[in-house]
Structure 1
């Protein structure tokens, strides 16, 4: 297990959500916010702030409205329908640029992309987080079942909020914490489908990129290391 957080820091989850319309009668009924607020229920020093967006312009305004103070460890959670290259109707490159600029100024260390198909381009994620204050990003390369994906997202965010600034400079600690976050879930669970409507397992969909703080450290995909550590721990428990 990773070393626990031992000192007080201002932590937050900044939720940027686009209406889901999961069915014909879903009049803005579905939201990830109650699930995210569950984290704050058990972590009383974690604040949850949220805003809706509908397009690029409202995404920018929503992000600005959530970034009024500087945090020690904040995570941006973008929750919206996704397609290759877009998230909630916003180009992923535009969204990532805006988040990267905010990260430099407001202590945003993590990005959770709670959307279908937008996490598969890990090279783009690596390029994006270089030069920002972001230390990690996660997302899905396939479609993702709404409830199951939300639960996975929340556990990842809850665990990563436990890494204080010193541990965000240590690659092994970050990988171990991501492994701990995903250990709760079956890696061969059918989380969604690819563009050809073929079933995709959780371990083949979820992607992780980290960039530990410190001079000379580069952003890198660590998905294989995360799931390899999970597999090793499972073998040791047998």
Structure 2
């Protein structure tokens, strides 16, 4: 993970990291023997994102889209992340992948539109919030059924779309 993040943090293009895997509140990976801890993942972000190029982290993993994990990533200023998204409940991989792809489709549309603007450019945080809003319009059960949530850290306070 550290090698890939290191490359992405320096390529002058990558602003979002999407990691889909099995997971839980403490680990990301298929099982405890083949997983990395959330502390290891956060340390990789700190090492890779020194210039703050990576703005968002989407963990397409079960049980990681909760306030505790969001705090863990966002309240450590050295990660330089603007937003964090994931699922607080267990999600079947096909359903989760479909929801993830809708989110990223909406986010990509905003990035393309934003790139062509000369004035009034949107922040990465604003685009992520809008993409999540558009997602729940299309998939109203994304939050209530699967626990999809997106978190932001601003003014020394953690906020989310659904709390």
TM bracket, shorter-chain basis: 0.7 to 0.9
Partner of 1:129: 74
Deviations 1:140-179 (A, max 9, x none): 11111111111211222333342559522776x6534321
How many residues are aligned here?
A: 148
- Cα 1:170–1:119 shift into 2, 3 Å: closer
| Runs of 5+ unmatched residues, structure 1 | 1-58, 192-199, 226-238
Structure-2 separation of matches of 1:170 and 1:69:
20
Partner of 1:179: 133
Structure-2 separation of matches of 1:75 and 1:101:
16
Of the two structures, which has the highest relative contact order with CA contacts closer than 8 Å and spacing of 6 or more? Answer: 2
Structure-1 separation of matches of 2:21 and 2:69:
19
Partner of 1:62: 4
Question: Residue 129 of structure 1 contacts residue 219 of structure 1 at CA under 8 Å; is this kept in 2?
Answer: no
Structure-2 separation of matches of 1:140 and 1:60:
23
- Cα 1:69–1:178 shift into 2, 3 Å: same
SS in 2 for 1:69: coil
Structure-2 separation of matches of 1:133 and 1:70:
15
C-alpha RMSD of matched pairs (Å): 2.9
Displacement of 1:139 in angstroms is 0.7
* Larger fraction in helix: 2
Structure-1 separation of matches of 2:25 and 2:128:
27
Structure-2 separation of matches of 1:219 and 1:101:
24
SS in 2 for 1:112: strand
Question: Residue 69 of structure 1 contacts residue 106 of structure 1 at CA under 8 Å; is this kept in 2?
Answer: no
**In terms of Rg, which structure is larger?**
1
Q: Please give the TM-score of this superposition, normalised by the length of structure 1.
A: 0.53
Q: Please give the TM-score of this superposition, normalised by the length of structure 2.
A: 0.73
Partner of 1:167: 122
Question: Residue 210 of structure 1 contacts residue 222 of structure 1 at CA under 8 Å; is this kept in 2?
Answer: yes
